[in-house]
């Protein structure tokens, strides 16, 4: 099977790259070994919130110059990053995903544990506050589904109380969600969302919430609405009547699952082919070029293309694999930047910087992958598998995923034009 | 240290890192709260079952084995195999008469086919349906597939068989029970298309039902006997024609994956030679080894439903790509959803409601698109969609047979 | 008697202290049990969980072996919800001396242990994970025992018989009159306050920390801290305990316990200062793995869940640097006779599964000192949870068609499952999905089982002990605790401590799936929850 571009990995980066290319008429296929990290997203995107030395960043675009030279942002270049950051919301809008936020300064979102986390952009469910611990109202009503354990209303209420609001916690139970309750394990975000996608159940819920309001000026709900589209959010806001905010839940994340679905739909809508549940097992390389890749499902049918993009993610998605002795990239055995001594991979404090999260595949200045020190001319690397950054620590995972995807899509289509 | 280079466990159950994504993609969970969900029934439950078989939960029978959990799993855990293996290993209920009847597709087919007109009319009358419902617990709202008057095999031996040796290339065909007893037309379409592209068709040396319905109804020893027999005759076929093609995605998946994984029948000699027809044809066309000529003026608005097992095989792209090549086809890829029938699952009274609820998003989408017809590679999806919507369902190969200028194509592929 | 006066004070909330408290309270004494941490935090919760048949000691220490087999048979009756009667094999590998086997079997018989020589082929059929190269196999009545459950059941019963339990309370000094111990001074770690408690007899059952307790009374017990490191694998590889048929050495026992299996141990002398903070070294991990793979080769590719280490409270008799030659037998010290200090008794040595006998000996001595004439009944009185029957029988009492989580609850609590709130379906929803622990079970533990924090909750319920090591359940449980106690702020830091406690056992073996799991957990806690060292 012959394509223009084959993308390995169907997460945020692979999809953005695929959509960008497919929209420009490129025949693309994405091979995705199962679902990806978007399903566990916080509903927000980060550009940069911390430097590797731990300094907090409020204006991410201004801080890029302070990053190391091999950081993907520095490889892509400050100007390009600013340009891409400006394009991002529009790009997602075209895929049916509304993002809001500010390129010039990080805002903050309230997390499921009631912490404030810096954010660049957020999906429309999630409210961004310009300042940490901003007071959202005088009296806040935090409503949860009865017995739903993945939304910690006590923690969330605690956060709002610390910022000066008085909080009350209530629960709602509906006949339709109670049906789920018969199963001890399935009172989870996606299942609740599926039930609430039914309009009559949704308005029943809104009525129930309304009845609970005494003198509160703000209602806070778990972000478990609108699995298929975000229209439910507006319906709820309108029906409840008072200011309604949503706070993310423990995984799976409804805004994340919705975003993943819409991106995949946009990719397929642009003519792309998405192979879900298949896995690239290896590729043939000859003279600094990848000729083809093999997958589990396609067997002897090889996937051939002019260009290949490796967006296979970090350890979680098995883009990188750690054995007791080494860290390696399993598809092409590319050069991986990692610490040899395993005892240096970890910090004994779980909540401090974990160096293993910064391991990744080495690239040249065009994001070509390196193997044995040499660049592979038609193999590009994007997203969380890139070396040079601890994305979780620096809060730049989405930025790196999106910008490297834009950059590679530009390179590939530029090459074709030339 | 020469240790721990890789992690190994039965069906990769240890690779589950509890992300719960499979639960989000399970079609049964939202409609049947008694089912514990793939993660719980699969890798979570497995750790307890290893401790004692007492932890086996009978509710695992509500798993349809659609394998959507496997497709969504980012960790490569074969969740459906864990669940089905547990049913095989620990299930204590003997299959009911109903289950045995539903499962023995070829036996019942053999018995019913000669009396097709009687069986078809009897099975659809109210009193008989009431008996099936009351006594057999087969839901009365369910429409039965009709039995054909003449089996595919008998048609083939008499009409098509003698002509096949004239073709330069040869393949073998695993037609399955459905083509043989219920819908020989699909087999005839298959032969037409293969002949047109220059391939002679051979039947196996007496194929048996792939056994999928036996597996899902707990008749493991019968299923295993079938598997052993089929692997033997498939091997014989592969030795002469190499490729063995099928028109049913479920038969294909069963023979390729369920034989070794669930029934522990070694099929390594034939596994890679067994393919669904569209996966075989499309690359030949794409590489220019086979040329197609289409009828002028053929027009159809088609919605393609990828059957769950086709999704698991990862081969939906081949059927889609082949259909998209037909000029005049307005092609829509339906969202990835289960139709809810899952073989014999939806026939059972206890599953009927769930079965229809699972399929609803798919039916709604089809109604919204209002195609000329729906296309799918699976016979049970066809029953379910035809029963639940007003649209006819055709196999991609039947559409190809309709759209191709067979004579002109045959000339180019001599 | 005043509120701070008791018949006997027991120091130590491990299995020895718990068993002694139960025995004393069953004999009608007014008991105070003091523990500076949580129950089962020392060696009690840091061993194999092996229900020895005694075979391991048959050749080298016949007294211990006889004690073991007797207690083995008693525990199978009185603690059946804590015990898994798996049976055990002693296997001989090609590199071992098969001649040892006959000596071993003889010694077992002499100690009263039923030892049956098997054809190696038969042994492989019965336990398919065992090394297929074995040249000999002997069956013995080994089993496994859940130390947390066993300790908790003793505490619950002691409490039901009037024992006062003080957790997170540390003995900081003895109240002495002349050469007589009259009571103890306690520092309450939660409040920071000190208080005094009195009793005519105090029992030092503090395990390795008993060395320090004795010093507070001006006494020296020659204790020998021997660190033992172990690895937990993520699922049960074996159904039958596998031992090496040779003189006891490193990593020669593989025990299936609950949903996991455990290989151990190493044995190294450590200084007393390190006893509170045991870390497993990479060398120990390598040794456990390579020796473990000789018992069951599949361990070389089985996911490791955790590495942990405990300190055995051995009482030294000579200068053996490994501690292996020190008797594992029970040591009961009457300090009046030994050191001239009245009112103080130390009970130490022994093993997890001889705790009951240790409690009996200590209580006999306490009763003698108090002039109480009551017989020990612990050998015939089932522990709470083991009173009515086995897993199936008990499940059927509550449910006609029990689900897996319901069965799991009974599996952990035995007939005490009736104490779990089962009023409505909210109680059935799962907090911990790996170990199938329900909200009702967690709430019951919070209400009744002396839970101070999430780690305590883990010891009571197994939350966070499964393959995800608390990634989802810790947060759910923290919320239940926050609601029950109205302490959201404290629970957030408790959640951090819990995650760090789990991480401590993971990073020494964090590669492969464990590293993936950690990366995912990092993503959830740092990326989704925004929890890091800055907040």
Q: Which residues pair with A308 in a beta bridge?
A: A6, A379
Which of C525, C421, C444, C496 lies closest to C152, judged by CA?
Answer: C444
Which of B84, B18, B90 lies closest to B51, judged by CA?
Answer: B90
Q: How confident is the model at residue C463 (pLDDT cuts 50, 70, 90)?
A: very high
Query: What's the pTM value of the predicted model, to 2 decimals?
Result: 0.93
User: Are β-strands C201-204 and C223-233 bridged in parallel, bridged antiparallel, or unpaired?
Assistant: unpaired
Q: What pLDDT, on the 0 to 100 scale, is given for residue C196?
A: 97
Q: Is B156 on the interface with A (CB under 8 A)?
A: no
| B–C CB contacts, 8 A cutoff, strictly below | 108
Best to test chain C binding among B11, B21, B44, B91 (most C CBs inside 10 Å):
B44
Read off the pLDDT of residues B384-403 as tens digits, 9 standing for 90 and up. Answer: 999 899 999 999 999 999 99
Q: Give the HSE-up count for residue B359: Cα atoms under 13 Å, Cβ half-sphere.
A: 28
Best to test chain A binding among C401, C483, C527 (most A CBs inside 10 Å):
C527
Instruction: Answer yes or no: do A350 and C529 touch at CB < 8 A.
Output: no
Produce one character per residue of C341-368: b if its CB has 16 or more CB atoms within 10 Å, e if not.
Answer: bbbbbbbbbbbbbbbbbbbbbbbbbbbe
Q: Is B274 on the interface with A (CB under 8 A)?
A: no
Distance in Å, alpha carbon of C496 to nearest chain B alpha carbon: 20
Q: How confident is the model at residue B5 (pLDDT cuts 50, 70, 90)?
A: confident
Read off the pLDDT of residues C235-253 as tens digits, 9 standing for 90 and up. Answer: 999 999 999 999 989 999 9
Instruction: Answer yes or no: do A179 and B73 touch at CB < 8 A.
Output: no
Separation CA A400–CA A198 (nearest Å): 36
Residues of chain C in contact with residue A40, where contact means CB-CB under 8 angstroms, are 520, 523-524, 528
Read off the pLDDT of residues C26-59 as tens digits, 9 standing for 90 and up. Answer: 999 999 999 999 999 999 999 999 999 999 999 9
Q: Is B331 on the interface with A (CB under 8 A)?
A: no
Instruction: Answer yes or no: do A324 and B5 touch at CB < 8 A.
Output: yes
Q: What pLDDT, on the 0 to 100 scale, is given for residue C314?
A: 83
Sign of CA dihedral A16, A21, A24, A27: negative
Neighbours of chain A (3+ CB pairs under 8 A): B, C
Across the interface, of B4, B7, B8, the residue whose CB is closest to C289 is B4
For residue A388, pLDDT over 60 is answered with yes
Read off the pLDDT of residues A113-145 as tens digits, 9 standing for 90 and up. Answer: 999 999 999 999 999 999 887 888 999 999 999
What 3-state DSSP class applies to C13?
A: coil
Separation CA C452–CA C461 (nearest Å): 13
CA distances from B356 to B32, B33, B344, B388, C529 (A): 11, 15, 13, 8, 39
Instruction: Answer yes or no: do C528 and A354 touch at CB < 8 A.
Output: no
Which of B208, B304, B287, B199 lies closest to B245, judged by CA?
Answer: B199
Distance in Å, alpha carbon of B313 to nearest chain A alpha carbon: 6
What 3-state DSSP class applies to A94?
A: helix
Q: Distance between alpha carbon A262 and the CA centroid of its chain, in Å? A: 13
Q: Lowest mean pLDDT: which of A20-34, A328-342, C157-171, C309-323?
A: C309-323
Instruction: Answer yes or no: do C520 and A345 touch at CB < 8 A.
Output: no
Separation CA C249–CA C241 (nearest Å): 16
Q: At the top level of CATH, which class does the domain B300-406 belong to?
A: alpha beta
Q: What pLDDT, on the 0 to 100 scale, is given for residue B86?
A: 93
Instruction: Answer yes or no: do C491 and A40 touch at CB < 8 A.
Output: no
Which of B298, B286, B243 lies closest to A273, judged by CA?
Answer: B286
What 3-state DSSP class applies to C215?
A: helix
DSSP secondary-structure letter at C196? E
Q: Which residue of chain A has the CA closest to B22?
A: A35
What 3-state DSSP class applies to A284?
A: strand
Q: What pLDDT, on the 0 to 100 scale, is given for residue B4?
A: 85
For residue B114, pLDDT over 70 is answered with no
Distance in Å, alpha carbon of C444 to nearest chain A alpha carbon: 16
Instruction: Answer yes or no: do A184 and C438 touch at CB < 8 A.
Output: yes
For residue C442, pLDDT over 90 is answered with yes
Separation CA C478–CA C500 (nearest Å): 14
Query: Phi, psi (5° rounding) for residue A245?
Result: -120, 155
Q: What pLDDT, on the 0 to 100 scale, is given for residue C241?
A: 98
DSSP secondary-structure letter at A164? T
Q: What is the mean pLDDT of residues B112-131?
A: 59
Q: What pLDDT, on the 0 to 100 scale, is given for residue C337?
A: 95
- Which range, B100-114, B280-294, C399-413, is most confident? B280-294
Instruction: Answer yes or no: do B71 and A277 touch at CB < 8 A.
Output: yes
Instruction: Answer yes or no: do B47 and C512 touch at CB < 8 A.
Output: no
Separation CA C229–CA C251 (nearest Å): 9
Instruction: Answer yes or no: do B71 and A179 touch at CB < 8 A.
Output: no
Residues of chain C in contact with residue A356, where contact means CB-CB under 8 angstroms, are 510, 515, 519
Residue A105 structure tokens:
């300064």
Cβ atoms of residues C209 and C12 within 8 Å? yes
What 3-state DSSP class applies to A310?
A: strand
Residue B202 structure tokens:
């051979």
- Which range, B79-83, B90-94, C419-423, is most confident? B79-83
Read off the pLDDT of residues B161-217 as tens digits, 9 standing for 90 and up. Answer: 999 999 989 999 999 999 999 899 999 999 999 999 999 999 999 999 999 888 888
Domains, chain C, in order of start with CATH, read 8-43+148-222+328-370 (3.50.50.60), 82-144+224-312 (3.30.9.10), 420-528 (no CATH)
For residue B355, pLDDT over 90 is answered with no
What 3-state DSSP class applies to C290?
A: helix
Read off the pLDDT of residues B55-75 as tens digits, 9 standing for 90 and up. Answer: 998 889 888 889 999 999 999
Which strands form A166-172's sheet, in the order they lie side by side? A166-172, A139-145, A218-222, A243-247
What 3-state DSSP class applies to C412?
A: helix
Q: How confident is the model at residue A204 (pLDDT cuts 50, 70, 90)?
A: very high
Helix C439-448 to helix C473-485 angle, to the nearest 10 degrees? 50
Q: How confident is the model at residue C147 (pLDDT cuts 50, 70, 90)?
A: very high
Instruction: Answer yes or no: do B72 and A277 touch at CB < 8 A.
Output: yes
Cβ atoms of residues C265 and C154 within 8 Å? no
Query: Phi, psi (5° rounding) for residue A98?
Result: -90, 125
What ipTM is given for this predicted complex?
0.96
CATH tag for B3-90 (out of 1.10.1060.10, 3.40.190.10, 3.40.1080.10, 3.20.20.60): 1.10.1060.10
Cβ atoms of residues C426 and A147 within 8 Å? yes
Produce one character per residue of B23-57: b if its CB has 16 or more CB atoms within 10 Å, e if not.
Answer: bbbbbbbbbbbebbbbbbbbbbbbbbbbbbebbbb
Q: What is the mean pLDDT of residues C481-494?
A: 91
Percent of chain A, pLDDT > 70? 98
DSSP secondary-structure letter at A127? P
Across the interface, of B4, B46, B48, the residue whose CB is closest to C511 is B4
Q: Average per-residue pLDDT in chain B?
A: 88
Neighbours of chain C (3+ CB pairs under 8 A): A, B
Cβ atoms of residues A251 and A43 within 8 Å? no
Read off the pLDDT of residues A217-231 as tens digits, 9 standing for 90 and up. Answer: 999 999 999 988 889
Q: How confident is the model at residue B105 (pLDDT cuts 50, 70, 90)?
A: low
Separation CA B172–CA B177 (nearest Å): 16
Instruction: Answer yes or no: do A252 and B21 touch at CB < 8 A.
Output: yes
Neighbours of chain B (3+ CB pairs under 8 A): A, C
Alpha helices (H) along A222-347 = 231-240, 254-269
Q: Where are the domains of chain B?
A: 3-90, 300-406
Rg over alpha carbons for chain B, rounded to the nearest Å, is 21
Instruction: Answer yes or no: do A179 and B33 touch at CB < 8 A.
Output: yes
For residue C290, pLDDT over 70 is answered with yes
Residues of chain B in contact with residue A297, where contact means CB-CB under 8 angstroms, are 313-315
For residue B235, pLDDT over 80 is answered with yes
SS (H, E, C) chain B: CCCCCCCCCHHHHHHCCCCCHHHHHCCCCCCCCCCCCHHHHHHHHHHHHHHCHHHCCHHHHHCCCCCHHHHHCCCCCCHHHHHHHHHHHHCCCCCCHHHHHHHCHHHHHHHHHHHHHHHHHHHCCHHHHHHHHHCCCECCCCCCCCCCCCCHHHHHHHHHHHHHHHCCEEEEEECHHHHHHHCHHHHHHHHHHHHHCCEEEEECCCCCCCCHHHHHCCCHHHHHHHHHHHHHHHHHHHHHHCCEEECCHHHHHHHHHHHHHCCCCCCCCCHHHEEEHHHHHHHHHHCCCCCCCECCCCCEEEEEECCHHHHHHCCHHHHHHHHHCCCCEEEEECCCCCCCCCCCHHHEHHHHHHHHHHHHHHHHHHHHHCCCEEEECCHHHHHHHHHHCCCCEECHHHHHHHHECHHHHHHHCC
What 3-state DSSP class applies to A166?
A: strand
Q: Which residues of B touch C (CB under 8 A)?
A: 1-9, 13-20, 36, 39-40, 44-48, 50-52, 54-59, 75
User: Are β-strands B199-203 and B169-174 bridged in parallel, bridged antiparallel, or unpaired?
Assistant: parallel
Q: Is B81 exposed, middle or buried (0-12, 13-18, 19+ CB in 10 A)?
A: buried
Which of C409, C415, C408, C412 lies closest to C393, judged by CA?
Answer: C415
Q: What pLDDT, on the 0 to 100 scale, is given for residue C318?
A: 46
Query: Phi, psi (5° rounding) for residue C165?
Result: -110, 125
The total of other beta-carbon atoms located within 10 Å of residue B357's CB is: 15
DSSP secondary-structure letter at A393? H
Q: Which residues of A touch B (CB under 8 A)?
A: 1-2, 33-36, 39-40, 179-186, 188, 190-191, 194-195, 251-252, 257, 268, 273, 275-279, 295-301, 316-318, 323-325
Q: What is the mean pLDDT of residues A368-379?
A: 97
Residues of chain C in contact with residue B48, where contact means CB-CB under 8 angstroms, are 259, 404, 407-408, 411, 436
Q: Is B6 on the interface with A (CB under 8 A)?
A: yes
Instruction: Answer yes or no: do C507 and A114 touch at CB < 8 A.
Output: no
Q: What is the mean pLDDT of residues A243-248?
A: 94
Read off the pLDDT of residues A349-359 as tens digits, 9 standing for 90 and up. Answer: 999 999 999 99
- Listing DSSP states for C375-405 in one string gives ---TTTSPPTTSSS--HHHHHHHH-SS--HH
CA distances from C512 to A155, C25, C259, C291 (A): 33, 49, 20, 20
Cβ atoms of residues B214 and B104 within 8 Å? yes
Separation CA C205–CA C213 (nearest Å): 9
For residue C319, pLDDT over 50 is answered with no
For residue B96, pLDDT over 90 is answered with no
For residue A10, pLDDT over 80 is answered with yes
């Amino acid at each position: 099977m012959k394509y223009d571009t084959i993308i390995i990995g169907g997460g945020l980066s692979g999809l953005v790259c695929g959509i960008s290319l497919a929209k420009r008429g490129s025949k693309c296929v994405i091979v995705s070994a199962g679902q990806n990290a978007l399903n566990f997203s916080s509903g927000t995107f980060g550009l940069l919130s911390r430097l590797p030395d731990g300094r907090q960043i409020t204006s991410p675009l201004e801080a890029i110059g302070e990053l190391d030279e091999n950081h993907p942002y520095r490889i892509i270049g400050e100007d390009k990053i600013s340009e891409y950051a400006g394009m991002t919301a529009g790009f997602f809008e075209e895929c049916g995903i509304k993002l809001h936020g500010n390129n010039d300064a990080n805002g903050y979102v309230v997390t499921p544990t009631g912490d404030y986390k810096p954010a660049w952009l957020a999906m429309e469910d999630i409210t961004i506050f310009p300042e940490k611990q901003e007071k959202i109202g005088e009296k806040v009503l935090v409503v949860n589904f009865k017995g739903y354990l993945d939304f910690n209303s006590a923690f969330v209420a605690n956060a709002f109380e610390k910022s000066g609001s008085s909080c009350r916690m209530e629960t709602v139970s509906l006949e339709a969600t109670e049906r789920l309750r018969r199963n001890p394990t399935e009172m989870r975000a996606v299942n609740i969302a599926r039930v609430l996608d039914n309009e009559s159940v949704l308005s029943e819920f809104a009525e129930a919430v309304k009845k609970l309001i005494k003198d509160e000026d703000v209602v806070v709900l778990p972000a478990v609405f609108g699995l298929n589209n975000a229209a439910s959010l507006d319906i709820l806001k309108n029906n409840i009547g008072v200011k309604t905010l949503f706070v993310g839940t423990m995984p799976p994340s409804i805004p994340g699952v919705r975003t993943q679905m819409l991106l995949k739909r946009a990719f397929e809508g642009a003519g792309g082919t998405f192979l879900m549940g298949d896995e690239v097992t290896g590729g043939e390389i000859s003279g600094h070029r990848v000729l083809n890749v093999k997958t589990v499902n396609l067997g002897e049918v090889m996937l051939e293309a002019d260009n290949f993009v490796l967006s296979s993610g970090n350890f979680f998605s098995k883009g990188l694999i750690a054995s007791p002795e080494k860290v390696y990239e399993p598809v092409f055995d590319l050069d991986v930047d990692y610490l040899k001594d395993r005892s240096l991979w970890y910090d004994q404090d779980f909540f401090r910087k974990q160096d293993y999260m910064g391991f990744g595949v080495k690239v040249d200045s065009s994001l070509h992958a390196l193997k044995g020190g040499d660049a592979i001319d038609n193999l590009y690397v994007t997203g969380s598998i890139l070396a040079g950054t601890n994305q979780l620590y620096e809060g730049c995972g989405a930025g790196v995923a999106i910008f490297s995807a834009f950059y590679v899509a530009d390179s590939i289509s530029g090459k074709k034009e030339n | 240290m020469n240790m721990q280079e890789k992690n190994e466990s039965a069906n990769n159950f240890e690779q589950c890192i509890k992300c719960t994504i499979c639960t989000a993609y399970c079609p049964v969970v939202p409609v049947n709260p008694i089912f514990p969900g793939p993660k719980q029934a699969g890798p979570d439950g497995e750790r307890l079952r290893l401790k004692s078989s007492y932890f086996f939960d009978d509710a695992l029978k509500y798993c349809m084995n659609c394998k959507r959990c496997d497709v969504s799993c980012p960790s490569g855990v074969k969740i459906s195999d864990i669940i089905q293996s547990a049913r095989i290993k620990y299930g204590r209920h003997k299959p009911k008469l109903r289950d045995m009847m539903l499962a023995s597709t070829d036996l019942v087919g053999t018995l019913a086919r000669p009396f097709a007109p009687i069986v078809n009319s009897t099975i659809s009358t109210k009193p008989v349906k009431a008996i099936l419902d009351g006594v057999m617990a087969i839901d009365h709202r369910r429409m039965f597939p009709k039995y054909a008057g003449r089996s595919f095999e008998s048609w083939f031996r008499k009409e098509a068989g003698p002509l096949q040796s004239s073709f330069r290339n040869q393949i073998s065909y695993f037609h399955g029970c459905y083509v043989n007893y219920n819908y020989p037309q699909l087999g005839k379409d298959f032969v037409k298309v293969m002949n047109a592209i220059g391939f002679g068709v051979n039947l196996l040396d007496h194929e048996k039902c792939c056994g999928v319905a036996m597996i899902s109804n707990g008749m493991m020893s019968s299923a295993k006997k079938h598997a052993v027999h089929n692997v033997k005759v498939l091997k014989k076929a592969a030795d002469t024609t190499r490729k063995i093609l099928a028109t049913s995605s479920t038969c294909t998946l069963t023979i390729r994956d369920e034989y070794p994984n669930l029934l522990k029948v070694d099929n390594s000699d034939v596994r890679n030679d067994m393919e669904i027809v569209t996966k075989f044809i499309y690359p030949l066309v794409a590489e220019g080894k086979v040329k197609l000529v289409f009828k002028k003026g053929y027009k159809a608005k088609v919605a393609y439903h990828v059957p769950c097992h086709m999704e698991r095989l990862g081969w939906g792209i081949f059927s889609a790509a082949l259909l998209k090549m037909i000029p005049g086809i307005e092609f829509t890829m339906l969202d990835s959803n289960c139709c809810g029938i899952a073989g014999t699952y939806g026939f059972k009274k206890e599953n009927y409601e769930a079965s229809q609820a699972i399929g609803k998003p798919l039916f709604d989408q089809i109604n919204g698109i209002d195609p000329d017809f729906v296309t799918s590679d699976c016979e049970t999806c066809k029953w379910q969609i035809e029963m639940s919507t007003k649209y006819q369902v055709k196999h991609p190969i039947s559409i190809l047979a309709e759209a191709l200028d067979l004579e002109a194509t045959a000339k180019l592929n001599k | 008697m005043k509120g701070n006066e008791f018949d006997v004070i027991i120091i130590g909330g491990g299995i020895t202290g718990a068993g002694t408290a139960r025995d004393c309270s069953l004999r009608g004494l007014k008991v105070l049990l003091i523990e500076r941490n949580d129950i089962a935090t020392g060696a009690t919760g840091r061993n194999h969980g092996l229900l020895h048949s005694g075979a391991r000691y048959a050749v080298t220490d016949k007294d211990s072996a006889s004690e073991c087999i007797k207690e083995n048979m008693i525990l199978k009756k009185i603690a059946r919800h804590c015990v898994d009667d798996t049976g055990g094999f002693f296997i001989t590998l090609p590199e071992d001396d098969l001649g040892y086997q006959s000596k071993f079997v003889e010694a077992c018989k002499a100690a009263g242990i039923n030892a049956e020589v098997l054809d190696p082929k038969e042994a492989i059929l019965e336990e398919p994970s065992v090394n297929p190269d074995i040249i000999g196999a002997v069956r013995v009545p080994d089993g496994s025992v859940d130390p947390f459950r066993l300790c908790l059941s003793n505490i619950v019963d002691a409490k039901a018989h009037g024992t006062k339990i003080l957790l997170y309370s540390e003995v900081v000094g003895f109240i002495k009159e002349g050469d007589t111990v009259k009571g103890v001074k306690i520092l309450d770690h939660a409040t920071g306050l000190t208080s005094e408690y009195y009793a005519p007899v105090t029992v030092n059952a503090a395990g390795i920390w008993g060395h320090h307790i004795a010093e507070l009374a001006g006494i020296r017990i020659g204790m020998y801290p021997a660190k033992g490191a172990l690895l937990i694998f993520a699922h049960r590889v074996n159904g039958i305990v596998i031992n090496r048929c040779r003189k006891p050495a490193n990593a020669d026992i593989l025990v299936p316990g609950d949903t996991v299996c455990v290989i151990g141990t190493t044995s190294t002398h450590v200084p007393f200062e390190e006893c509170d903070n045991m870390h497993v070294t990479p060398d120990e991990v390598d040794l456990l793995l390579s020796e473990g793979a000789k018992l069951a080769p599949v361990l070389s590719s089985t996911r490791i869940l955790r590495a942990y280490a405990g300190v055995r409270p051995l009482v030294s008799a000579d200068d053996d640097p490994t501690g292996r030659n020190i008797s594992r037998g029970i040591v009961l010290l009457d300090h009046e006779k030994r050191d001239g200090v009245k009112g103080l008794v130390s009970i130490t040595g022994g093993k997890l599964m001889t705790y009951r006998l240790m409690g009996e000996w200590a209580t006999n001595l306490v009763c003698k000192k108090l002039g109480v004439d009551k017989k020990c009944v612990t050998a015939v009185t089932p522990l709470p949870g083991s009173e009515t029957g086995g897993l199936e029988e008990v499940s059927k009492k509550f449910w006609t068609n029990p689900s897996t989580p319901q069965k799991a609850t009974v599996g952990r609590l035995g007939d005490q499952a009736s104490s779990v709130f089962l009023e409505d379906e909210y109680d059935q929803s799962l907090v911990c999905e790996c170990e199938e622990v329900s909200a009702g079970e967690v709430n019951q533990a919070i209400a009744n089982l002396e839970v101070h924090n999430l780690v305590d909750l883990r010891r009571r319920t197994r939350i966070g002990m499964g393959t995800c090591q608390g990634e989802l359940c810790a947060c759910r449980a923290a919320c239940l605790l926050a609601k029950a106690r109205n302490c959201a702020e404290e629970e957030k830091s408790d959640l951090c401590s819990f995650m760090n406690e789990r991480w401590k056992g993971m990073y020494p073996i964090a590669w492969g799936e464990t590293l993936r799991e950690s990366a995912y957990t990092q993503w959830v806690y740092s990326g989704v929850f925004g929890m890091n060292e800055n907040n």
